[in-house]
Amino acid sequence: ARELAEQIRQRVAATEILPERAITISLGVSCWYGGNDSGMALLQRADKALYAAKNAGRNCVQLEAEGHKISRENDESFSLLIF
C-alpha cells in the first residue's frame, strides 16, 4: 500500500494542473487487522497518519503508528489510503 500511495503522490506532483502553481497531496495509510478491528478504528488510524503526513511537511506518505505494523502475512488484512 505504501508503494501505491507513493506512486499516486508522485503522479499528482508531476501533473501540471495550474501552470503557475504546483499541486501536491499528502496520504495516510492504514491497515485492517480483522478480528476485533473495526471500520471506525481503521479510519481513525488512517486519519492520524494523514495528519502526521501534513505535519511532516506535506507532499508525503505516512504509515499508521508503529504499534500497528502493516504486514502481508495476514491474509485478512487490507490497506486503506486517505488523502
Single pTM value for the model: 0.74
The gap from C-alpha 49 to its chain's centroid, in whole angstroms, comes to: 6
| Percent share of the chain, pLDDT over 90 | 36
pLDDT in tens, 36-66: 888 899 899 999 999 999 999 889 999 987 5
Dihedral sign computed on CA atoms, order 68, 43, 15, 54: negative
- pLDDT greater than 70 at residue 79: no
The gap from C-alpha 20 to its chain's centroid, in whole angstroms, comes to: 27
Name the band, by pLDDT with cuts 50, 70 and 90, for residue 22: confident
Mean pLDDT over each residue of the chain, to the nearest integer: 80
C-alpha cell at 52: 502526521
Name the band, by pLDDT with cuts 50, 70 and 90, for residue 7: very high
